[in-house]
Amino acid sequence: MLIARKLTQMNFEIKNNGAVSNEFLKLGIQDFRSACKFISLLPYKRNINKENILCVFEDNAGTCSTKHSTLRKLALENYKPEIKLILGIFKMDSNYAPKIQKTLQLNHLNYIPEAHNYLRIGNDYLDFTHSNSSYSEVENRLLIETEIEFNEINLQKILKHKEFLSNWIKDKPQFTLKQIWEIREMCIEDLQN
């Protein structure tokens, strides 16, 4: 209900002001609210080229990063800079993602810090990763949160995530950064299966 109300308040007509706006208009999507719904209904899948801002359209799928960076770029193209892209690192455990339980157990972990992207409008957080995604799913699991830009979802996001993991494993001498990143990759693989 809050998401629908906030989107109604922040809804805007999409003008042909850039590449992302043009892609939505070609699909007959003429406002931000409809664009958010379209993005949330796309399948969850890693994109072939995250550097390409149009990758969700070309792959007809996306991740939290590519989906929300597309919406942030759409907002910027339509002069709505108050729609922010947020990077949160949260405790991804088997309650949040049952598919990763085996990987966590094999590695004697209760959780693994995972990076997640979503939007913030004022004090409200919106997650369009899936049609039923909600910020409340990660809110109480958050370890850190920072604002990033649409073109920082690849290298910058990975650097911030690895920096966090490097600090996190300081009291876990059984892991190197390389090992914990590989465990994280196994968890992501689990989620996609």
Q: List pLDDT tens digits, range 59-84.
A: 999 999 999 999 999 999 999 999 99
In terms of phi and psi (left: phi > 0; alpha: psi -120 to 50; beta: otherwise), the region of 79 is left
Amino acid at 183: I
| Torsion angle, alpha carbons of 64, 97, 162, 172, to 10 | 170
Read off the pTM. 0.90
Which amino acid is it at 187?
Answer: C
Other Cβ atoms less than 10 A from the Cβ of 36: the count is: 23
pLDDT at res. 5: 60
Is it the case that residue 25 has pLDDT exceeding 50? yes
Contact 115, 89 (CB under 8 A): yes
Q: How confident is the model at residue 18 (pLDDT cuts 50, 70, 90)?
A: very high
Q: Rounded to whole angstroms, how far apart are CA atoms 123 and 145?
A: 13
At 52, list the tokens. 């390409």
Centre a 10 Å sphere on the Cβ of residue 162 and count the other Cβ atoms it contains: 16
And the tokens for 162?
Answer: 């690895």
Give Cα 116 distance to the centre of its chain: 4
In angstroms, the first-to-last Cα distance of the chain is: 31
Q: How many CA atoms lie within 13 A of 161 on its CB side?
A: 24
Taking 60 as the threshold, does the pLDDT of residue 4 lie above it?
no
Q: Are 93 and 142 in contact (CB under 8 A)?
A: no
